[in-house]
Chains A and B, each alone.
Chain A
Amino acid sequence: MGKWTIPAPRKILVVGVADMAASNDPGAELVTYSLGSCLGITVYDPAKKIGGLFHVMLPDSRIDSVKAAGSPFMFMDTGLPRLFHATYNLGADRSRLIVKVAGGAQLLDERGVFNIGGRNFQALTDLIGRNGLVIHARDVGGMSSRTLRFDLGNGNVSIKSPGADAYLL
């Protein structure tokens, strides 16, 4: 490629809090902002360049199962299966899926009553383990919020906190 070649613009899709998106467009980037105690979970099939991103807020929909029915992506137990199925529907192969996770910040809390970040991560590892999958990379905990960018062209997940440089997970 010559020096003056202008790369095609990336398609950026922002995934809001308590939301999910999946795509098979290798030119797309999925982004989610201000992951605090929330978790950002990415799944990626490198052979087919299919991926999904889920920004989940709370561990367990049983706190309000009626309302949860209207917002399944608020909760890990109702949202995570939908993330996987969205990538299967696009043609992803379960055996190739790479799972990464970031977020789960914690307040300074001795008793852990406010530790939603920790409970979110526990709910994730339970579900992942029960389904015979593994988490390939994680950046969980700490006191900073994070922005997560997920490049569907190569599966790269980059994490950035305010006042710090971005890095690849």
Chain B
Amino acid sequence: MTMPDSRRLRTRRRLLQAGGALSIVPWLRVGAAAADLPDIPALSAFLAGRTPRSERVRLLLPQLADNGQAVPMKVVIDGPFAPGPHVSAIHLFSETNPVPEMAVFEFPGPVERIEVESRLRLANTQRIVAVAAMSDGTLYSAVAEVIVTLAGCLDGT
């Protein structure tokens, strides 16, 4: 269940103020990143208390979808990748679709280029969250908002 907008704004403001006051202590920035993630129960369940870093992942979606039936999506994790932990999976979560876990893309081994494209189905205007999981458990995330509007004429054919 998402928080009403006004309460979300106040919480965000408080966290940012707290973050600003403690800006001389960079490791506390992680708290501000968590406040940027939409409140999706399936996402919280997946994170299980962990906080992903909101960096390295680029989630590319149109700001305004031509049609919610097929919204082009590209998720990229820029290299170069140091030897060691590799990207093992990228999870996609929807804020308001009836099915919040949209897809998981899995990489059994290291690949020099982590870039996945597909087309999403979006029920309405919402945010999409991409969470990349490294083989050592580190998590990175990105959020993108898409405006989805309704077609002008009903098609009953």
Asked if chains A and B come from one complex, the reply is no
